[in-house]
Every structure is written in structure tokens, then in C-alpha cells.
Amino acid sequence: MTDQAYPQPPARPTKKPLRAPSPAEIAKVRLLGHWSGFFTWLNETKRLEVSFFPGEPQACPAHGGASGEAFRFFPDADFTGGGICNSCAHVRAANGIDLVAGILQDLPDGHGLAAEAALAQSVAWADEYALEADLPPLACPASAVQVGRWLQADHNEAPTRYLISRGLAVGRLPAALRGIATMPAKGRFKTKPPQVLALVRAPDGRPITYHYIPLSEHYGRAPEDAPGKKGTAPLDKQIGIAGAYIELGAEHAATLIVAEGVETALAGAELFARARPEAGPPRVRAIQVGGGLKSQVIPPDVQEVIYLMDRDPTALRTRTPCTSFALKF
């Protein structure tokens, strides 16, 4: 990205320190977006017979083809590693670490491991692969806890219905957006409203935390007087979030759209696709955290930046030579 150093304001303190993450939580976050390579590596080095084709039925890696093609990876498995077998008791998980542990539990002919041993083996393999693939370490221990909470949000109807309520066309939901349904709450409020959780990345691309947007009970924008406000899960002062962003589009593209908010960013991507279909999908970033537009570090391979701003004074600075447009709404 860039070797320049930028001042990092401290993250907001929490009421109490975040707990230390478990080895499994660290592995889940460290391998985000690297599951294709991990499962291919397992197939080649550990003889775990699994083909990484998200969404396509295949023989179960635990019991083979005894029940036909009962296993499949979830459509977002490249990002999360999750999958399910309709015939196995434990081969069903929303993340790759627990999925591999389930496979090891359900191996036939008495070769299955106990749950604790299976999880430990899955984590050990993940650490071995991360070392061989030279994956970067976590930004800080607290990021494993916060990103782990984002991973647990599996109610994807929430962000889909929310974006539709904002007038946006929703094809494939961006991998960074997840949701949670209505939950029990403490105090005078009987329930917590549904939320959209958006994965936040540091300037170097590592996942660090999540940004949350409370919704109404019908999945529209929550009223101003509703309990709970949008914000970013804190990180115990361990890492600043200047230059942080939410990735919503293609990871590698010549054009980068940078916007103040998820909805504005996705609307800009729609307009770009209509105006310049020959250009292909742009890279899209929402800046709801981390110091605003002026703190963004522009990737060196970007040739064009389109800024979509609210109607307020904003100082723009790009970090690399490129064509820049500033559009105000």
C-alpha cells in the first residue's frame, strides 16, 4: 500500500478491557479471505479430500460419497470458510476453523476425534498454513474479538432488506456486510433492534473491527430517538483507526470510489456501472470511521479516484498521483 506513516488517534476506551482472544478466534480472523488457499493446502498436504467450489454440491470430506453429494461450501466461503453437510452431525459451521473441526469429528471407522482435539488440530493446521503462506499477523489481539463478533452475525436478511429500503439494487451482498436479528435486551427496552454489521479494515487491509448500524423492526433506518446509535466497536486503545475503511467492491480495479457511508458508496457504484459499463466493477470504500476522506491511503495501482461527499467542507488529499473527482450530494 504505502510506507508512509500517518498519525493515529487513539481508539475510544471501553468500559472494561476486552478479553484475550482464543487461538481459534485468532485463526478465524487471520484466515479471512484466504480459505481457498487453506482448503487447497489441506487437500494437498493433509489428505483432506475437499474441493473448494463455494455453492456447488460435492462428496463430504468426512464420509466421502456414501450419501451422494451432501456437502457444499456456503456462497461466501472464500471469505469465511463456512459450509455444511446434510448427512453429518458436526460438519456444519459458518467459519472454516469450526468446519474442519467438524470434519475431523465425523471421520468414519473410529477415526473421528473428540471435539476439543478436533478443534485443536484445526487451529494447528491453520497456524501451519498461515506460516507457510506468510499471512500477516493480527493488527492487535482485540481485533480477533471484535471481528469474531462480526463473523457470528449470520442474519443476512438484515443488510439486504435495509439496502432495499434505501432504494439500492441488491444483487450479491458485499462480503463485508452481515446482520443480526432482533435480540433480547436489558433495561427498559425489551429487545434490541436488528443491526447491520460492516467489517472495518486498517489502511494495510487487515480486518480490525466492525461498524454497526441499528435498524427499525422492519429493517429500515432506525428513528433518531430509537435506542442504540451507529458506531464502531472499540479496540481497547490498542490501535488507532485513522485511514480505516469498509471494502464494498472489487478488490483490484483501476477506479476507486470513496464515499462517506455504506449507502452512498453502493449508490455511487450503481451509477458508475450504468455510466461506464465497459470499465468493469470499481473498487468501493465506505468511510464511516477513521478520520474521514482526507485520511484515506490510496492504493498505488489506482489510476482514478471518485470522492462522494456530504455537503460539508472536506479537505482532500490523495497519496498517489491519480485523476480525482469530488462530487457532493
Q: How far apart are CA 129 and CA 80, in angstroms?
A: 16
CB 249 within 8 A of CB 183: no
Same domain flag for 109 and 176: no
Residue 198 belongs to some domain of the structure? yes
Residue 308 neighbours by CB under 8 Å, 6+ apart: 257, 258, 259, 260, 264, 265, 267, 268, 327, 329
Counts for the chain of helices (H) and strands (E), in that order: 8, 14
Q: Would you state the pLDDT for residue 190?
A: 56
Same domain flag for 94 and 145: no
Q: Say how many domains are in the chain.
A: 3
Residue 296 belongs to some domain of the structure? yes
Same domain flag for 151 and 105: no
Q: Would you state the pLDDT for residue 288?
A: 67
CB 184 within 8 A of CB 178: no
Q: Of the candidates 181, 208, 232, which is a domain's last residue?
A: 232
Residue 226 belongs to some domain of the structure? yes
Same domain flag for 219 and 255: no
217-250: string of b/e by CB count within 10 Å (b at 16+)? eebeebeeeeeeebebbbbbebbbbbbbbbbbbe
Residue 42 belongs to some domain of the structure? yes
DSSP string across 53-109: -TT--B-BTTTBTTTSS-EEE-TTHHHHEEEEETT-SS-EEEEHHHHHHHHHHT-TT
In this structure, which amino acid lies at residue 175?
A
Q: How far apart are CA 313 and CA 296, in angstroms?
A: 16
Q: How far apart are CA 202 and CA 165, in angstroms?
A: 29
Q: Of the candidates 132, 158, 183, which is a domain's last residue?
A: 132
Grid coordinates standing for 233?
466497536
Same domain flag for 199 and 272: no
Same domain flag for 117 and 41: yes
Q: Where are the alpha helices (DSSP H) in 153-199?
A: 157-165
Q: How far apart are CA 246 and CA 258, in angstroms?
A: 10
Residue 15 belongs to some domain of the structure? no
Q: Could you list the mean pLDDT of each consecutive 10-residue stretch along the chain, which spans 329 residues?
A: 47 60 92 94 91 91 82 89 91 92 89 92 96 89 87 82 88 87 59 84 88 85 67 62 86 88 90 90 82 77 85 47 50
What H or E segment, with its residue span, contains residue 323?
strand 323-328
Q: Would you state the pLDDT for residue 56?
A: 92
Q: How far apart are CA 245 and CA 256, in angstroms?
A: 12
Predicted TM-score of the model (pTM): 0.79
In this structure, which amino acid lies at residue 199?
L
Residue 302 neighbours by CB under 8 Å, 6+ apart: 253, 254, 255, 256, 283, 320, 322
Q: Of the candidates 132, 158, 177, which is a domain's last residue?
A: 132
* Domain that includes residue 186, residue range: 141-232
